[in-house]
Amino acid sequence: MAELVWRPYIVADAEKLVQVGVHPVLARIFAARGITDTAQLHGDVSALLHWQTLKNIHLAANWLADAVQQQISVLVVADYDADGATACALAVRGFRLFGLTVDYWVPNRFVHGYGLSEDVVREVVQRQPRPELIVTVDNGMSSRKGVRLAQALGIRVLVTDHHLPGDEVPDTVIVNPNQQDCPFEDKSLAGVGVMFYVLLATRAVLRERGCLPEVINLSGLLDLVALGTIADVVRLGHNNRILVEQGLRRMRAGRACAGVRALFAVSGRDIARATSGDLGFMIGPRLNAAGRLDDMSTGIACLLLDDDKEAVLCAEQLHQLNVDRREIEQSMQQQVCLPEPDKLGYSLVLFDPAWHAGVIGILASRLKERHHRPTLCFARGDKGEIKGSGRSIAGLHLRDALDWVSKREPGLIVKFGGHAMAAGLSIAEHDFAVFAAVFEQAARSMLSAEDLQAQLLVDARLAADEITDELAQAIARQVWGQGFPVPVFQGVFQVKSQQLLKDRHLKLQLGMAGQGWDAILFQCTDRLPEEICALYQLDWNVFQGRGRVQLRLLAWRQHDDCCF
């Protein structure tokens, strides 16, 4: 386990926010995250960046408007994760609102691999009706051969994606804020966010042409945008926070699609109090389970259903797949064998021929969190290749590290792609040892010893009278996630009582200055001393209709060792 360093956020001036009525503790939290004006907190759709600054979006919107007017058949080709599933459902629902004849197809990760490959094109051209336009969602930036084959067969391809481009990109119309020379300010849109902007642009073009028979309200699809954005763990700048907040408002108001409502129900969560945490830790994993273990078509179908009973049946299938995924993941974790902590390198690169290819990304994430090292886990693929999925830490841009490897050892990596924090790749199985060694060189060139220390940034030390229902509820209403993390507080507490919960967690009663609170410490069975210094988050826990503050402990130390 990597050493955890407690450090405070840099103190920022929050007085301007306090003066306009922001809760004093929240004002400090926002200021520490770079919020200097309440305009940066506004969640209204009118504050969204305009679609017009996305490169090629006018061309894309005109292609789609032509498809509407000419009534040609459109096929959406999706990725097999939650972002791809929500982007696909969003595209299908949006295109149908415009009057398009549209269907969807999603590759099976175990059969087709990633993206619009040549094999995928050969398969989809057999469909009836034969697609005349293919729209990729959350993929396509590395699909040069697939795009070329589709074009040779007389099919146009519109690529919508958010992944970082490689040295070469498909020769077609691409909408991606991360492509070269795109002036769109927010580079952190998820794939579902890119598709939402494409729908906005297409609606505008159709209006200009006088082709919309009625008012089309695309905000009704923002529940899908919120789910995909949080599930893909993209950075939550102001623009993404607006998209998520608007989607959460729809969910809480009972206006989410039947599939999202059903996923909340099978997860045991109350959609009337939906939070970004629910989307990231409860709903997203159940949707992702379909792509990891089976076929993401099940997940997309759930999001496209309008009948509540059918949606619940589909969501129950996804729930069971997630249960199966957990069991597989736990078994894989037990198989991991690592050297002693002081003998670890700067990276973890692991391969086991028995590992499940759909779960290696989750395994890499767990190991990265535990050991605070960039981590790549590999499972056996086809034709002598192994497939890897990686997760990284601050300081090492994972896709850039893989590019570093590919340039120093040409041919070592068959293919790769991804983001700063997550990436995928394929290599020959016999090259595993060489790859592990070269990737370790990359990690050592990009990271310092200090980077290998896990840090937990602390917002404030709260006094007893500051731990209030008002603050807990205010925190629960906000959108938190990657780049805009949930607030963490510090305090010294007396441990009044403690008992094991489900043989895995500690249920606690903590006290401070004559006041007391329920608390939970997950994945801990050790008995705590009578007094501790703890890092914690404030939860608003509702049980049988009654709400109360609960402290979620993240870490603790002996009281006399309590310092940042």
Q: Give residue 563's pLDDT.
A: 54
Distance CA 487, CA 30 (A): 9
Strands 546-558 and 515-521: parallel
d(C-alpha 240, C-alpha 226), whole Å: 8
Q: Angle 469-477/24-32 helices, nearest 10 degrees?
A: 40
Alpha helices (H) in 232-280, listed in sequence order: 238-252, 258-266, 276-278
Within 271-356, residue ranges assigned H as helices are 276-278, 284-293, 297-304, 308-335
Q: How many residues make up the chain in this entry?
A: 564
The whole-number pLDDT of residue 113 equals 74
Domains and CATH numbers, the chain: 4-40+455-561 (2.40.50.460), 48-320 (3.90.1640.30), 341-452 (3.10.310.30)
- pLDDT score of 20: 87
* First-last CA distance in the chain: 19
Tell me the C-alpha distance between 216 and 234, whole Å. Answer: 28
Which is nearest to 517 in space by CA: 537, 502, 501? Answer: 537
Asked whether 300 and 316 are in contact (CB, 8 A), the reply is no
Q: What span, in angstroms and rounded, lies between the C-alpha atoms of 434 and 436?
A: 5
DSSP, residue by residue, 429-454:
GGGHHHHHHHHHHHHHHH--TGGGSE
435 CB neighbour count, 10 Å cutoff: 23
- Overall pTM > 0.85: yes
Instruction: Write the secondary structure of 40-104 as one string of H (helix), E (strand) and C (coil).
Output: HHCCCHHHCCCHHHCCCHHHHHHHHHHHHHHCCEEEEEECCCHHHHHHHHHHHHHHHHCCCEEEE
pLDDT for res 562: 62
- In this structure, the number of other CB atoms found within 10 A of the CB of residue 9 comes to 16
Q: Provide DSSP, 134-194.
A: EEEES--TT-HHHHHHHHHTT-EEEEE--SPP-SS--SSEEE-TTSTT---S-TT--HHHH
Q: Decide if 120 contacts 112 (C-beta within 8 A).
A: yes
> What's residue 1's pLDDT?
57
- Angle among Cα 495, 478, 465 to the nearest 5 degrees reads 35
At a CB cut-off of 8 Å and minimum separation 6, what does 387 contact? 357, 360, 378, 379, 380, 381, 424, 425, 426
Query: Which residue has tokens 């040779």?
Result: 152
For β-strands 348-351 and 156-160, DSSP reports them as: unpaired
Residues 356/451, Cβ–Cβ less than 8 Å: no
Enter the tokens of residue 292.
Answer: 């990891």
What pLDDT was estimated at residue 114?
Answer: 80
Q: What pLDDT does residue 489 have? A: 96
Query: What pLDDT does 564 receive?
Result: 47
- Cβ–Cβ under 8 Å, residues 116 and 157: yes
pLDDT at 109: 78
Q: What is the pLDDT of residue 558?
A: 86
One digit per residue, the tens of pLDDT, for the chain of length 564 reads 567 888 888 777 888 899 888 999 999 999 999 998 888 988 899 999 999 999 999 999 999 999 999 999 999 999 989 999 999 999 999 999 999 999 999 988 777 778 899 999 999 999 989 999 999 999 999 999 999 999 999 999 999 999 999 889 999 999 999 999 999 999 999 999 999 999 999 999 999 999 987 889 999 999 999 999 999 999 999 999 999 999 999 999 999 999 999 999 999 999 999 999 999 999 999 999 999 998 899 999 999 999 999 999 999 999 999 999 999 999 999 999 898 888 899 999 999 999 999 999 999 999 999 999 999 999 999 889 999 999 999 999 999 999 999 999 999 999 998 888 999 999 999 999 999 999 999 999 999 999 999 998 999 999 999 999 999 999 999 999 999 999 999 999 999 999 999 888 999 999 999 999 999 999 898 999 999 999 999 999 887 778 899 999 999 998 766 654
Q: Burial, 23: exposed, middle or buried (Cβ in 10 Å; 0-12, 13-18, 19+)?
A: middle
| C-alpha to C-alpha distances, 534 to 37, 99, 461, 557, nearest whole angstrom | 31, 56, 10, 6
Determine the Cα–Cα distance for residues 162 and 6; give it in Å rounded to an integer: 33
Scored b (16 or more CB within 10 A) or e, 386-411 reads bbbbbbbbeebbbbebbbbbbeebee
- DSSP state for residue 2 in the 8-state scheme: P
361/377 Cα distance (integer angstroms): 7
Output the furthest CA–CA distance in the chain (Å, rounded): 76
Contact 456, 489 (CB under 8 A): no
Q: Quick check: helix, strand or coil at residue 38?
A: helix
Residue 518, number of CB atoms within 10 A of its CB: 15
Short-list 448, 429, 418, CA closest to 165? 418
